[in-house]
């Protein structure tokens, strides 16, 4: 099972039946994300397995070999582009990197870092746990109500969501675009609506696809798309506008092809 961190590990350990062992194997694994419009052109020639959309659909995983390296390929993307998270054991990590990097040279492969990762995920509206939302927020406020299935029966936290939905929340995690298209903030700045402090920035980055800075902020639910706001940044107010999300590829065409 893939999990995000120690909070999840603690959750599994506390809820596991007495005959179930929970063990963290993170230290023995590694992962390389291969994403972009040419991701399939890079990976498919290196493997006998079928990496087509039909054979490995979104949110599915399969065992495979890439350049002889045994991997688990997971069809998902936190950057909004076609591709996979490719997992292998730690001793194969360098070999997997070398195979992908060498084969990718003719395709213009780029070793992208965390800044690129953050910029792309904000353009797609992907939330970051612990940064954009915490246990202080509920899924409907965070724009994740689509992931709640109350009809599935009992689950941990179900009672806490009783009577809450997207229409009853008083605050929302909102997408902002900066009006001057050049001022990039850092995060945690206050956001003003109608001249009054009404929320704060969680994440921010320059969106290279749209050519403008992006910020996500907690704001009153009344701040709908088109609402003008101001972000206070080192003593000056930067005009921004609440935007409909996602900013890039709302049809999900890039990620599912």
Contact, 174 vs 219, CB < 8 A? yes
Does 220 share its domain with 132? yes
Does 77 share its domain with 173? no
pLDDT tens digit sequence for 107-161: 999 999 999 999 999 999 999 999 999 999 999 999 999 999 988 889 888 999 9
Q: CATH no. for residue 167?
A: 2.40.30.110
pLDDT tens digit sequence for 37-89: 999 999 999 999 999 999 999 999 999 999 999 999 999 999 999 999 999 99
The counts of H helices and E strands in the chain are: 4, 10
Does 138 share its domain with 227? yes
Does 131 share its domain with 236? yes
Q: In what order do the strands lie in the sheet with 83-89?
A: 29-35, 83-89, 69-74, 61-66
Residue 69 counted as domain residue? yes
Range of the domain at 107: 6-111
Query: How many structural domains is the chain composed of?
Result: 2
| pTM, full prediction | 0.91
CA-closest candidate to residue 173, choices 200, 135, 197, 153 = 200
Residue 253 counted as domain residue? no
- Percent pLDDT > 70 in the chain is 100
Distance, CA of 78 to CA of 121 (rounded, Å): 6
- Per-residue confidence (pLDDT) for residue 228, from 0 to 100: 98
Does 98 share its domain with 170? no
DSSP annotation of 2 reads -
- Per-residue confidence (pLDDT) for residue 150, from 0 to 100: 87
Residue 254 counted as domain residue? no
Residue 37 counted as domain residue? yes
Contact, 183 vs 165, CB < 8 A? no
Note the Cα 25 to chain centre separation in Å.
23
Q: How confident is the model at residue 225 (pLDDT cuts 50, 70, 90)?
A: very high
Residue 9 has which token pair?
A: 């590990």
Distance, CA of 180 to CA of 233 (rounded, Å): 14
Q: CATH no. for residue 31?
A: 3.30.1360.120
Does 199 share its domain with 104? no
Distance, CA of 256 to CA of 254 (rounded, Å): 6
Does 69 share its domain with 96? yes
Does 99 share its domain with 40? yes
Upstream peptide bond of 246 is cis (omega within 30 degrees of 0): yes
Tell me the DSSP string of 26-41.
Answer: GGGEEEEEEESTTHHH
């Amino acid at each position: 099972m893939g999990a995000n961190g120690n909070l999840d590990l603690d959750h599994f350990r506390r809820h596991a039946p007495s005959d179930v062992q929970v063990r963290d194997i993170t230290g023995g694994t590694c992962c390389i994300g291969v994403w972009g419009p040419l991701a399939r052109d890079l990976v498919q020639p290196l493997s006998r397995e079928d990496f087509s959309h039909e054979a490995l659909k979104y949110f599915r995983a399969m065992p495979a070999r890439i350049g002889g390296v045994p991997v688990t390929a997971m069809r998902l993307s936190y950057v909004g582009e076609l591709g996979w998270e490719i997992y292998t054991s730690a001793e194969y990590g360098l070999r997997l990197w070398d195979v992908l990097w060498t084969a990718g040279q003719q395709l213009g492969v780029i070793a992208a870092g965390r800044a690129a990762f953050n910029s792309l995920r904000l353009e797609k509206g992907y939330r970051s746990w612990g940064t954009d939302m915490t246990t202080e927020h509920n899924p409907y406020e965070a724009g994740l109500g689509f992931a709640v299935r109350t009809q599935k029966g009992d689950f941990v936290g179900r009672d806490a969501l009783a009577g809450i939905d997207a229409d009853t929340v008083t605050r929302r995690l909102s997408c902002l675009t900066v009006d001057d298209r050049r001022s990039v903030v850092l995060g945690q700045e206050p956001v003003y609506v109608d001249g009054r402090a009404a929320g704060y920035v969680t994440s921010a980055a320059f969106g290279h696809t749209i050519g403008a800075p992006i910020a996500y902020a907690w704001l009153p639910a009344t701040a709908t798309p088109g609402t003008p706001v101001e972000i206070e940044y080192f003593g000056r107010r930067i005009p921004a506008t609440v935007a409909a999300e996602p900013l890039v590829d709302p049809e999900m065409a890039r990620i599912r092809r």
